[in-house]
Chain A
Amino acid sequence: MLSLYGYEYAIKNVYLAARSALGERQVNNLDQLRCFYLDALTKLAPKLPINRSQSRIIVDLAVEERLTAFFSTSVLDDLRQDQAIGPAYPPETKQAKLDRVSEAWDALTGRSIEFARTLNLIVHSVFVRSAVGAGKRTPRAGTTSLAPGVIWLAVHDNESVEDLIEILIHELTHLLMFTDELIHPQFDYTDIAKRDTFTLSALLGAVRPLDKVVHSMVVGTEIIMGRSALRPVSHCGTGAHPDSRVIAAGVSSAYLQLVEHPLAVDSLTQHTQEIIARCHGVCGAYNLEPATL
């Protein structure tokens, strides 16, 4: 959502979310905003470990275990996501994986002030842990709305810094969508768990719950826009996501299927309909202009 709606929109949402912890106090800089936002998250998720240190990387195994427990089952999890996170990495390999995540984090934050500030504000904890049932080359990472500000990553040996940067952008997008949802309701929450509102997702191309579909469209669009802004060779696929033209086609197909599905459209708020229309607008332009790839 950072590229789609801009840095200032993200900051305003964080500020609005932080208001429950602000009282009459004023926010003058990013550090203060982060502090109040983390206070608000403590109210929202009282049992969630909130990492207030400058390093977002979680080394402590006990904290890692507590964060893993938040990735639990829900009616909206259609692909057994609650079973996706596996055992802890052996200590002898874990540090090397954490170092590679740090390298990707530094590379991403070094390329854009907007990404740096937003990432540092929104994300408080990044932990690494193995993935279940995926090959050693299949990218795996995740977020959950139960643990705002937390990213899980399974780091594979074959993943490059560019792959990990895209995975961070992917997960940041989910977290920004969750923050946005605190301010602007996105769905008719009584209907989104019903199968007859499910529709085609943008990246996986599977029929999935509406929250996954909307998130996939926004993620796809953010990956394309992020490549344009941050990568020298911009639109080729990476180990994390396919070529931008493939993503754009997936987002457009998902959009067109969704707007033709009355039950699905009725389950989106006006705000979410505007979000996906923006995604379609961006991705439609990429579909029409292969010369930009």
Chain B
Amino acid sequence: MPKAAATKRLTEALEKVGITSIGPDGEILVKSTQQQQLATELEKAGFGLILVSGVESKSRNGTMYKVVVAPRSIKDIINLVVPEKTNVLKQKIKLDPIIRSVQMNMVAFD
């Protein structure tokens, strides 16, 4: 995505939830009431949030997050899956008892 278009999409997504200020490294202050809608809007625009670490990230006014470019969208990823393989798999999951073999793994036992 070109930088100007990406910036525009980000700005629009933030404005939809009422956030108008963003720091030089993408920092934004998010109120708990904004969090859910913001995550949805950002995902649509191709961005995501990570928590700014440290005790100073939380204040009475909200939590400090950093906006980052999100991984490729789910739709784009699954478009890369080879169709033939998926047909084989449908049968395999239904019919093959062997791949259901029981394995149990536990912390401290490896």
A joins B in a complex: yes
A interface with B by C-beta (< 8 Å): 7-8, 11-12, 15-17, 19-20, 27-30, 32-33, 40, 43-44, 71-72, 74-77, 79, 81-82, 84, 107, 110-114, 116-117, 134, 138-146, 167, 170-171, 174, 178, 181-183, 185, 189, 192, 201-204, 206, 208, 211-213, 215-216, 219, 232, 240
In the complex, are the beta carbons of A12 and B80 less than 8 A apart?
yes
In the complex, are the beta carbons of B99 and A16 less than 8 A apart?
no
In the complex, are the beta carbons of B99 and A185 less than 8 A apart?
yes
Of the candidates B78, B93, B110, the one whose C-beta lies within 8 Å of that of A15 is B78
Min Cβ gap A4→B in Å is 16
In the complex, are the beta carbons of B74 and A113 less than 8 A apart?
no
Min Cβ gap B92→A in Å is 8
A117 to B50, CA, bound (A): 12
B106 at the interface (CB under 8 A from A): yes
Of the candidates B53, B72, B99, B110, the one whose C-beta lies within 8 Å of that of A203 is B110
A202 to B109, CA, bound (A): 10
In the complex, are the beta carbons of A145 and B100 less than 8 A apart?
yes
Of the candidates B75, B85, B102, the one whose C-beta lies within 8 Å of that of A74 is B102
B55 at the interface (CB under 8 A from A): no
In the complex, are the beta carbons of B93 and A144 less than 8 A apart?
no
In the complex, are the beta carbons of B70 and A27 less than 8 A apart?
no
Min Cβ gap B59→A in Å is 16
In the complex, are the beta carbons of B105 and A43 less than 8 A apart?
no
Q: Which residue of A lies closest to B80 (CB)?
A: A12
Residues of chain B within 8 A (CB-CB) of A142 are 104-107
Min Cβ gap B3→A in Å is 20
CB interface residues, B 8-28, toward A, < 8 Å: none
| Contacts A20-B94, A40-B93; A111 near B53 (Cβ below 8 A) | yes
B51 at the interface (CB under 8 A from A): yes
A58 to B74, CA, bound (A): 27
Residues of chain B within 8 A (CB-CB) of A12 are 77-78, 80-81
B98 at the interface (CB under 8 A from A): yes
Main secondary structure of the interface of B (DSSP, over half): mixed
Residues of chain A within 8 A (CB-CB) of B43 are 29-30
| 6 smallest beta-carbon distances between A and B, as pairs | A110-B51, A74-B102, A216-B110, A142-B106, A113-B48, A141-B107
Residues of chain A within 8 A (CB-CB) of B49 are 110, 113
Q: What are 20 A-B contacts with C-beta separation under 8 Å? A: A15-B78, A29-B43, A40-B93, A77-B104, A107-B51, A111-B51, A113-B48, A139-B108, A140-B106, A140-B107, A142-B104, A142-B107, A178-B103, A182-B92, A182-B99, A185-B98, A189-B98, A215-B103, A215-B105, A216-B110
Q: Mark B39-71, 1 if CB is under 8 A from A, else 0.
A: 000010000111101000000000000001011
In the complex, are the beta carbons of A27 and B99 less than 8 A apart?
no
Min Cβ gap A128→B in Å is 13
Q: Which residue of A lies closest to B110 (CB)?
A: A216
Residues of chain A within 8 A (CB-CB) of B89 are 16-17, 19-20, 182-183
| Contacts A11-B77, A15-B78, A111-B50; A189 near B110 (Cβ below 8 A) | no
B101 at the interface (CB under 8 A from A): yes
Residues of chain A within 8 A (CB-CB) of B106 are 81, 84, 140-143
Residues of chain A within 8 A (CB-CB) of B93 are 17, 20, 40, 43-44, 182
A77 to B102, CA, bound (A): 9
4 further A-B pairs in the complex, CB-CB below 8 A; given A110-B49, A212-B110: A12-B81, A20-B89, A182-B89, A182-B99
Residues of chain B within 8 A (CB-CB) of A40 are 93
